[in-house]
Structure 1
Amino acid sequence: MNIDFSVVFPYWYILLKGLGLTLAITLTCAVLGSLAGFAISLLRTLRNPLIRLPIGLYVEFFRGTPLLIQLFWVFFCFPVVFGLTLSPYVSVMLALILYMAAITSETFRGALKSIASEQHDACTALGLTPRAKVLFVIFPQALLRATPPLLSNVVSLFKESALISSVGIADLMFIGQNISNSTARPVEFLTAVAAIYFLVAFPLTRLVGVVESRMLRRYAY
């Protein structure tokens, strides 16, 4: 077999469309999942075991099971168990949001623990409501401290999103695999897909280092 990467160029637009869908799903699930993760981290600080226990079980389940199984369960089992009909895209995004919420909740929980108790005491002394305390004091500081691991989580989610091709979502991986099968050129197209993932993920991993070394040293302490 002669390897010829020129066969990839006629399909560049289709591959970019797949990349666009991958990025859209990743960013949407990252934002919604991170917000949900912050809410979960707050719930895990409560002393009520009726709240902490199920929330803790949810987090440990989604952190301790493969994402592929989670995707399959939401896609195939969720409609049967709950009697709801979900589109493939909604199913995939629900699974990714639940996964992202679980892993980011631990990130935010660590960030919340790093906030000095004096901050909470100051909010009480100023008479701030719990909502104002969370929105204007706790959340900004927790977000600042959690930024590097959150960016790492987003990069991981971007790479893990290749699994959604297994349930028929036309993302970058799905399109690249279909083209490689139809053209009998798996080496060229799968290599091209890997290169695209790398070109997107590598700058983000470098960004994590920049944020950690510059922004946090200046503002977090």
Structure 2
Amino acid sequence: MNLDFSQIVPYIPFMLKGIWVTLKFVFFAILFGFVLGTVFALFKISRIKTLKWIGDIYTSIFRGTPLIVQLMLIYFAIPQLTGYDIKPFLSAILAFGLNSAAYVSEIIRAGIQAVDKGQTEAAQALGVPYYLMMKDLILPQAMKNILPALMNEFISLTKESALVSTIGYLDLMRRAQVVGAQIYRNFEPLLFVAVIYWVLVFILTVLGRQLERKMKYSD
């Protein structure tokens, strides 16, 4: 096998910097997606038909189209339509956050509806305001039930983050491509960053299990 990992040694610091670059946009995308997903989940369980319709249409659009198409539309269409030169970092956060929100909204909706309806009825009978009931009673219980599904979504988002290399964002994947172009060897740098992605996902998986276990025993 014609392999020579010694050629990528000088470029290892350059590729390792991609870890922070990748995690930075993934963190903001996850945060944005979680907040927006929670809002749309509440829309979907609302008694107001317009809000339910908005939530369903949103989910249908973002789950029914490829993430890379959404990324390209945001990165290339916004400057064309508005004249605003959007940066790759902001494009990545918007595309991944909006896409993740569609999936998170379904996860949270299912979690909320899995909570015993008797608790909702009891809170309403006691005159507890809707937002307090959701914040203090329903959502905390729903989160315990949906934590594994949420962690899977966040792990998938981390792996899919490699797609941002298509718009020139210097994440892990893009840096591996740059190194490959410099040394005219692609397998070694790609394998190197593949291992890094695996380590990141492994760490997230372990942290997710520990958090799940902690919440389970906090009942």
Alignment coverage as a number of residue pairs: 219
CA-CA distance at 1:187 after TM superposition:
1.3
Check whether the contact 1:111–1:146 (CA below 8 A) recurs between aligned residues.
yes
1:120 corresponds in structure 2 to 120
Distance 2:48 2:121 in 1: 21
Check whether the contact 2:8–2:179 (CA below 8 A) recurs between aligned residues.
no
Q: Which runs of 5+ in 2 are unaligned?
A: none
CA-CA distance at 1:218 after TM superposition:
4.1
Check whether the contact 1:179–1:189 (CA below 8 A) recurs between aligned residues.
yes
**What secondary structure sits across from 2:96 in the alignment?**
helix
Matches within 5 A, 1:71-90: 71-82=71-82, 84-90=84-90
Check whether the contact 1:108–1:146 (CA below 8 A) recurs between aligned residues.
yes
CA-CA distance at 1:103 after TM superposition:
0.8
Q: Structure 1 residue 156 and structure 2 residue 156: aligned?
A: yes
Check whether the contact 1:145–1:216 (CA below 8 A) recurs between aligned residues.
no
**What secondary structure sits across from 2:27 in the alignment?**
helix
Distance 1:83 1:50 in 2: 32
**What secondary structure sits across from 1:145 in the alignment?**
helix
Q: Structure 1 residue 96 and structure 2 residue 92: aligned?
A: no
CA-CA distance at 1:169 after TM superposition:
0.5
Q: Which runs of 5+ in 1 are unaligned?
A: none
Distance 1:169 1:62 in 2: 22
CA-CA distance at 1:54 after TM superposition:
2.5
1:203 corresponds in structure 2 to 203
Check whether the contact 1:33–1:99 (CA below 8 A) recurs between aligned residues.
yes
CA-CA distance at 1:85 after TM superposition:
4.1
Check whether the contact 1:18–1:172 (CA below 8 A) recurs between aligned residues.
yes
Distance 1:59 1:110 in 2: 14
Distance 2:15 2:70 in 1: 26
Q: Structure 1 residue 66 and structure 2 residue 61: aligned?
A: no
Aligned CA distance change for structure 1 residues 117 and 20 (closer, same or farther; 3 Å): same
Distance 2:85 2:6 in 1: 43
**What secondary structure sits across from 1:127 in the alignment?**
coil
Q: What do the CA deviations read for 1:42-62 (whole angstroms, capped 9, x no partner)? A: 111113222222321111111
Distance 1:47 1:187 in 2: 54
Stretch of structure 1 that moved more, 198-207 or 21-30: 198-207
TM-score by length of 1: 0.90
Distance 1:87 1:26 in 2: 15
1:191 corresponds in structure 2 to 191
Check whether the contact 1:177–1:186 (CA below 8 A) recurs between aligned residues.
yes
Distance 1:52 1:79 in 2: 31
One-letter identity of the residue aligned with 1:140: P
Question: Identity rate of aligned residues, in percent?
Answer: 34
Give the RMSD, CA atoms, in angstroms: 2.0
Distance 1:46 1:109 in 2: 10
